[in-house]
């Protein structure tokens, strides 16, 4: 299994949503092979990125992230 790690934060307005959107598209394009890729988002702003905030932020992206 391969892993794609994305570092970012929920208040990021441009780069992070673009990266997460691209990861979502990648998972979609992989179809049945998507289970061979694990995508992980790691916050660089743990003070502000609470679990609740990250859950809300990630609703816009593929649930497998």
Q: pLDDT of 28-63, one tens digit each?
A: 999 999 999 999 999 999 999 999 999 999 999 999
In CATH, what number is assigned to the domain containing residue 12?
Answer: 3.40.30.10
What domain count does the chain have? 1
Distance, in Å, from the CA atom of 5 to the CA atom of 28, rounded to the nearest integer, reads: 17
In a domain, 65, yes or no: no
**12 annotated to a ligand binding site:** yes
Q: Which residues of 2-36 are buried (b: 16+ CB within 10 A; e: fewer)?
A: eeeeeebbbebeeebeebbeebbeebeeeeeeeee
**26 annotated to a ligand binding site:** no
pTM exceeds 0.85 for this model: yes
In a domain, 9, yes or no: yes
In a domain, 53, yes or no: yes
* Residue 10 structural domain: 2-60
pLDDT at residue 28, as a whole number: 97
pLDDT at residue 25, as a whole number: 97
In a domain, 14, yes or no: yes
């Amino acid at each position: 299994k391969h892993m794609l790690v994305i570092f970012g934060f929920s208040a990021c307005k441009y780069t992070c949503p673009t990266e997460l959107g691209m990861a979502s598209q990648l998972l979609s394009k992989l179809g049945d092979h998507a289970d061979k890729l694990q995508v992980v988002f790691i916050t660089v702003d743990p003070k502000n990125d609470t679990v609740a905030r990250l859950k809300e932020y990630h609703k816009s992206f593929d649930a497998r992230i």
